[in-house]
Chains A and B, each alone.
Chain A
Amino acid sequence: MTKNINITLKVWRQKGPNVKGGFETYHATNISTDMSFLEMVDVVNEQLTLDGKDPIAFDHDCREGICGMCGAVINGRSHGPEKGTTLCQLHMRHFSNGDTIVIEPWRAKAFPIVKDLVVDRSAFDQIILAGGYISVNTGGAPDANSIPIAQEIAELAMDAAACIGCGACVAACPNASAMLFTGAKISQLALLPQGKPEAANRALAMVNKMDELCFGNCSNERECEAECPKEISISNIARLNREFVKAGLVSVVK
């Protein structure tokens, strides 16, 4: 049932990357439980604007859980308390009247803060840039059906490919590790025959880039898998490990 609730927000405010930030408290009143979390922030921002204050900066775009732009840590949970849900798809009906909600940005050395809840996730692009692709030029591809791929393998690849690059795995990892993100891409491409020729190079290059960008090390805490809005499995991390060891110790790639 739709109802209206009042909540208190404690939001991390930080004017820029090198400025000291801190929590500010806001009251959101008369919030319909049908609203999404971001719509609730919209309401708060409208009020802040009307009051002549600086609205809360936060990233968002598609608002249907696929672009990966949104994300914040809500009461200690990446994208909030619901499983398999991005922040934009989280609805206020999961909160109660009188709740206090603490909103923090993704925290990781590799994701410096731009402003308030907005972080710079270009490190993810850097990881993909290191090798998250198949080197094929437009125009030279053989017929799409020339290589059959077992349905189960295609499905596993799709499971990994569902990653939206939001960064929740890094935010949720106690070590701020990017292994789930990296593992998902390495897995997707290592599973498919088209990706196999470059698998060794890719595994080495992407892992090295990930390390260079100061992400933490995976200690198999499984928080990433639990918080991933697309519920990507840590099996992909195991596959990354396998691919990396193969590449490092037995492949001919230097």
Chain B
Amino acid sequence: MNWLTNTIGASVGKKLMMAITGLGFCCFLTIHLAGNLTIYGGKDFFNSYVDHLHSLGPLVTLAELGLLFFATLHILTGTLLFYQNFKARPIRYSVNKRAGGRTLGSATMPYTGFILLLFVIFHLLNLHFVDKTNTTTFQLLSSSFANPVYIFIYTFAVIIAAIHVSHGLWSAFQTLGVDHPKYTPFIRGLSIVFSVAIGIGFGFIPIYISLLI
């Protein structure tokens, strides 16, 4: 198995892990968003979706463990890359100017990533690791979003996530070596569309719920 550790231990290998796990999160976000959109079908429709999801039992646990594994990889590798990249230039430039390659997303990846980590912990504490015996998920949401601070936190985090994936998605393809003069423009476009979809799709839910109350 030397060959495997050698491959994923190299700079390109580490990036590869970021790409694969990142793409995993993009899939997760898509499913998560699809589920969340049931909220627009009304309280009962949403709750029935949640119940249906929970009825999957061990599969959910498995998926959760998978996500946890991916997250661990993504965070640890990302941190290592950040540290190595920082060390690669011990003396910084006194004047910094972009040449046109960097974007808001690419320039802030480690920072948006870190904010997202904090948000995910908060999000799980808020909605996952709570006593749900006497309440529905919808009620949990309603009570959370009654508080404007929560609305702000969620909306802000969603914007951060959109920025993160605006670079992350095409970057993952590039790292995987998926590059072709015919398809690369499409992939770049897809990243932008995806990040906007994530931003709008998730971002309006807290506002929508708060309006329902």
Question: Chain A, 100-125, contact with B by CB distance < 8 Å: what is the 0/1 string?
Answer: 00101001111000000000000000
Structural contact, A75 and B175, CB atoms closer than 8 A: no
B177 touches A215 (CB 8 A): no
Q: Flag the segment in B13-21, B53-61, B66-74, B199-207 that touches A.
A: B13-21
A75 to B97, CA, bound (A): 7
Spot the interface stretch: B36-44, B82-90, B119-127, B147-155.
B82-90
Given A109-B90, A220-B167, A248-B3, are A238 and B95 neighbors across the interface (CB < 8 Å)?
no
List of A residues within 8 angstroms of B94 by Cβ = 23, 102, 104
Also in contact, A237 and B174, with CB within 8 A (given A109-B90, A248-B7): yes
Contacts of A176 in B (CB 8 A): 85, 88-89
Interface residues of B in 10-47 (CB under 8 A from A): 10-16
Give how many A residues have a beta carbon under 8 Å from the other chain's beta carbons: 51
**Complex interface: chain A residues within 8 A of B92 (CB):** 107
Given the interface pairs A108-B88, A216-B84, A241-B12, the reply to whether A73 lies near B93 with Cβ below 8 Å is yes
Give the contacting residue for B95; candidates A102, A177, A254; CB below 8 A: A102
Q: Answer yes or no: A214 CB below 8 A from chain B CBs.
A: yes
Interface assignment of A240: CB less than 8 Å from any CB of chain B:
yes
Cβ of A177: which chain B residues have Cβ within 8 Å of it?
Answer: 11, 85, 88
Residues in B whose Cβ lies below 8 Å from that of A221: 101-102, 106-107
Neighbouring A residues of B10 by C-beta, 8 Å: 207-208, 211, 244, 248
Nearest-Cβ distance from residue A167 to partner chain B, whole angstroms: 13
Chain B interface size, under 10 / 10 to 19 / 20 to 34 / 35 or more: 35 or more
Which residues of B (103-161) have their CB < 8 Å from a CB of A?
106-107, 109
Whether A217 and B81, one on each chain, are in contact in the complex, defined by CB atoms closer than 8 angstroms, is yes
Known: A219-B109, A220-B175, A240-B12. A76 touches B87 (CB 8 A): no
B99 — nearest CB in chain A belongs to which residue?
A226
A108: shortest Cβ distance to chain B, in Å? 6
Q: Would A207 and B89 count as touching, CB distance under 8 A?
A: no
When distances are taken between beta carbons in the complex, the residues of chain B under 8 Å from A218 are 11-12, 15, 175
Docked pose: A220 CA to B22 CA in angstroms: 14
Contacts of B101 in A (CB 8 A): 172, 221-227
Question: For residue A211, which residue of chain B has the nearest CB?
Answer: B11
Q: Tell me, yes or no, whether A1 is within 8 Å of chain B by CB.
A: no
For B176-192 the 0/1 string (1 means CB < 8 A from A) is 11110100100000000
Given contacts A110-B88, A226-B99, A240-B12, contact A220 B106 (CB under 8 A): yes
State A39–B142 Cα separation when bound (angstroms).
70
Contact A219/B6 with A176-B88, A210-B11, A224-B101 known, Cβ cut-off 8 Å: no
Taking CB atoms, residues of chain B closer than 8 Å to A108 are 88-89
A25 partner residues in chain B, CB cutoff 8 A: none
Write out the residue numbers on chain B whose beta carbons fall within 8 Å of the beta carbon of A77: 97, 99
- Tell me the complex Cα distance, A73–B98, Å: 12
> Given A227-B99, A235-B179, are A217 and B15 also a contact pair (CB < 8 Å)?
yes
Question: Which residue of the partner chain A has the closest CB to B184?
Answer: A235
Contact with B along A173-215 (1 / 0, CB 8 A): 0111101000000000000000000000000100110110011
- Given A172-B99, A220-B174, A214 and B88 contact (CB-CB distance below 8 Å): yes
- Chain B residues contacting A248 (CB-CB under 8 Å) are 3-4, 6-8, 10, 13
- Flag if B102 contacts A214 (CB, 8 Å): no
B106 touches A241 (CB 8 A): no
Can you list 24 contacts pairing A with B, beta carbon distance less than 8 Å? A77-B99, A78-B99, A107-B92, A174-B85, A174-B102, A216-B84, A216-B88, A218-B15, A219-B106, A220-B167, A220-B174, A221-B101, A222-B101, A223-B101, A224-B101, A225-B101, A226-B101, A227-B99, A238-B178, A240-B12, A241-B175, A241-B176, A245-B12, A248-B13
The 9 nearest A-B residue pairs measured at CB = A242-B177, A222-B101, A248-B7, A76-B97, A216-B88, A238-B179, A226-B99, A175-B85, A76-B95
Residues of A at the B interface (CB closer than 8 Å) are 23, 73, 75-78, 102, 104, 107-110, 172, 174-177, 179, 204, 207-208, 210-211, 214-227, 234-235, 237-245, 248-249, 254
Q: A108-B88, A227-B99, A235-B179 are in contact. List 11 more A-B contacts (CB 8 A).
A: A78-B99, A172-B101, A207-B10, A208-B6, A220-B167, A220-B175, A238-B174, A238-B177, A239-B177, A241-B177, A248-B8
